[in-house]
Amino acid sequence: MPDMETASPSADRIGAALRALRDTHSVEDGDVAALGAKCLRAVITQLAADGVRAEDLQPLVDLQGHLGAGKRVQPQSPVECDRRFGSAPSPILLARAAAVIDLLVKAGQDESEAARSVMRRLVAAGVPPPEKGGDARGWRRLLEWRNSLLHGVGPEEAKHEYRTFAREFEAIPPAERAQRVLDERLWDRRRKPR
């Protein structure tokens, strides 16, 4: 197995998405198929965000359909029940993601690595990258959206959310901010604080 230093950036992103799913979703009652279906969905989403054409992804989409058709009706995870899963992210969510990117940059990460990290977590949660942008890479479109927002372009509600969410970070001890914001998914307003 190649180590992460020799893996392509795309493989690294897919690996991170799969690790995030494995870490956040338990295999309940030995149902490996449910976790496998979630992992397959993350792979499809990431490959699409990386610019893989829909017709090239069709065999994976077909497999995902077969996995869903063959399993018993079970309680669904909140992500599966969420009607917004896979739909375009709102300006509010993108503003919160932009604030997280800025927090990571202040913590010492490079802008592009911070955007990749945030985009991996969004994809793992079922949030696709922003639709607009001149790049096939989802993290790059997220970074472009953030830069536009910082230069005053975007809805007023998004600008307000960015400022408000960035101020919320001040309540977290500085040494813990970056890790807690990422680990606790504070960017997700629907998630209850711990």
| pLDDT above 90 coverage of the chain, percent | 23
- Domain coordinates in residue numbering, the chain: 9-81, 91-183
Where does 5-71 have alpha helices with state H? 9-24, 32-49, 54-70
- Total-model pTM: 0.57
Whose tokens are 């985009």? That residue is 119
Selected residue with higher pLDDT from 113 and 135: 113
Q: What CA–CA distance (Å, rounded) separates 194 from 182?
A: 13
Q: Quickly count helices (H) and strands (E) in the chain.
A: 9, 0
For 106, other C-beta atoms within 10 Å of its C-beta total 14
Among left, alpha and beta (phi > 0; psi -120 to 50; other), residue 27 is: beta
What confidence category does residue 102 fall into, taking pLDDT thresholds of 50, 70 and 90?
A: very high
One-letter identity of residue 51: G
- Give the range with max mean pLDDT: 34-48, 75-89, 118-132: 118-132
Residue 27: predicted pLDDT:
60
pLDDT of residue 42: 78
Sign of the Cα torsion 143, 146, 150, 154 reads positive
In terms of pLDDT, which residue wins out, 180 or 35? 180
Which pLDDT score, from 0 to 100, does residue 75 have? Answer: 35
Mean pLDDT in residue range 2-17: 65
pLDDT-derived band of residue 138, with 50, 70 and 90 as boundaries? confident
Stated length of the chain: 194
Q: Is residue 121 within 8 Å of residue 182, measured between CB atoms?
A: yes
Q: What's the rounded mean pLDDT across residues 4-26?
A: 68
**Res 10 pLDDT > 80:** no
Average pLDDT over residues 1-10: 57
